[in-house]
Structure 1
Amino acid sequence: MRRQDGLTLLEMLVVLLIASMAISLGYQSLGQWQRANAAISSISGATQQATLTEYWFESSLRSLIPLQEVEFQGARDRLSGIATQPTQSHQGGATGTEWSTRHEGANQFLTLVEDGKQLDLPLPGVVSATFGYLDKEGRTHDQWPPKLGLHDHLPAVILLRQEMDDGTQRIWAANIAGAHNPRFNPFEADLD
């Protein structure tokens, strides 16, 4: 008898069955990996956006300056003042800055207006957001200037309290880096 090299029909069917099972498992794994990658990318994108929004918020408010001519005004949903580090224009010059919160449908937004330019920043996962103001003694106020008592022109810290959709709370805090009251120069009239 002559020996034939090659595979029998039964051996070929077994090889094809094993190969099809491996391809099927690989395809399922690829689908799961794609879904997981898409979920991670969306979480990563939302996290990056929230981090950038927090940085702009803190940077802008940290640079608030007290001016006698323009009083800082703060409420639970809006605040306005003069900043030296604007987000949307050249830094260093005194720029009118207004931050506000607004609820639109199921989404919460933080809106920044500087020199007539408006920037809407979404707050993903946030149900409600309100501003709070800490004085130099650490007391929290819902508005600035507080209704009663002596107070500085600027609060010591500005808070953005955020209620998340999972019931937790997130707080962003921006401490004012410079002076909290306008500086009086008795010789300013002589400089003109």
Structure 2
Amino acid sequence: MRREQGFTLLEMLVTLAIVALASTVIWQAMAQILRLESSMSGFQLQGARRIVQVAWARDAMRGFLPMEPVSPLRVRGTARELTGLAANPPGEAAIGVGRLALRLGFDEKSGETRLTSSVEGSEPVVLLRWPGDRGGFRYLSSAGEWVEMWPPDMKSYEGVPSAILLETGLEDAPVIVARPPAAGSPPLPSQASVKEP
């Protein structure tokens, strides 16, 4: 008796079992690859966001302008706050020149220190945040000394510091240093000192 051409039922079942097993393994490998890819893109996005935040904070510190010692808009700083007239301060209401305040504040609820920027007449914007209650501003005088208050004394008023340093609690940016381009420039006149012609 002659046998017909084709596969037996047993051969078909074995083939289907092998294909099902292979497709399951491939499906799990693809799912794992997609999970890794999505987590990696999250890390890349977080890193890119941190770079932008640090640049924003540095640009805010660079924008301070020198003013006369009697001006209420002159640059003043402590370890936790820096205020003064600044060019292009960060914020939605800030175009051109405005009174800028950079403040470090600790939020007990979240356990974070926040660097906020506020321009007169607008809500504060959080530029950076890090865990713990640490960080502070320091100012470089023209004598090359880092001080915790600006101006260090009114007898030798310099307008703006040669550099501003922000110590953060960030692992990827523990220190941010900015040099205002106006450092060493003569102070801008205040409204009181400008005489009408």
Q: TM-score, normalised by structure 2?
A: 0.77
Paired amino acid for 2:175: I
Listed as ranges, the gaps of 5+ residues in structure 1 are none
User: Is the aligned partner of 1:77 residue 2:80?
Assistant: yes
Question: In the alignment, which of 119, 131, 141 is matched to residue 135 of structure 1?
Answer: 141
Paired amino acid for 1:44: Q
Alpha carbons 1:82, 1:95 under 8 Å: kept: yes
Q: Which runs of 4+ in 1 moved over 6 A?
A: none
Alpha carbons 2:67, 2:187 under 8 Å: kept: yes
SS state at 2:174 partner: strand
* Alignment: residue pair count: 186
User: Shift of the alpha carbon at 1:148?
Assistant: 8.9
Assess, with a 3 A threshold, how the Cα gap between structure 1 residues 189 and 115 changes in structure 2: closer, same or farther.
closer
Identity of aligned residues (%): 24
What does 1:138-149 correspond to in 2, within 5 Å? 138-146=144-152
Assess, with a 3 A threshold, how the Cα gap between structure 1 residues 189 and 107 changes in structure 2: closer, same or farther.
closer
User: Shift of the alpha carbon at 1:147?
Assistant: 5.5
Alpha carbons 1:66, 1:154 under 8 Å: kept: yes
Question: In the alignment, which of 120, 125, 140 is matched to residue 126 of structure 2?
Answer: 120
Alpha carbons 2:164, 2:179 under 8 Å: kept: yes
Alpha carbons 1:136, 1:156 under 8 Å: kept: yes
Q: TM-score, normalised by structure 1?
A: 0.79
SS state at 1:60 partner: helix
SS state at 2:104 partner: strand
Normalized per residue, the structure richer in strand is 1
Listed as ranges, the gaps of 5+ residues in structure 2 are none
User: Shift of the alpha carbon at 1:101?
Assistant: 1.9
User: Shift of the alpha carbon at 1:17?
Assistant: 2.8
Aligned partner of 2:162 in structure 1 is 156
Q: Deviations over 1:136-185 (max 9, x none)?
A: 34322222122597351211111121223x6x762111111014451569
User: Shift of the alpha carbon at 1:26?
Assistant: 2.4
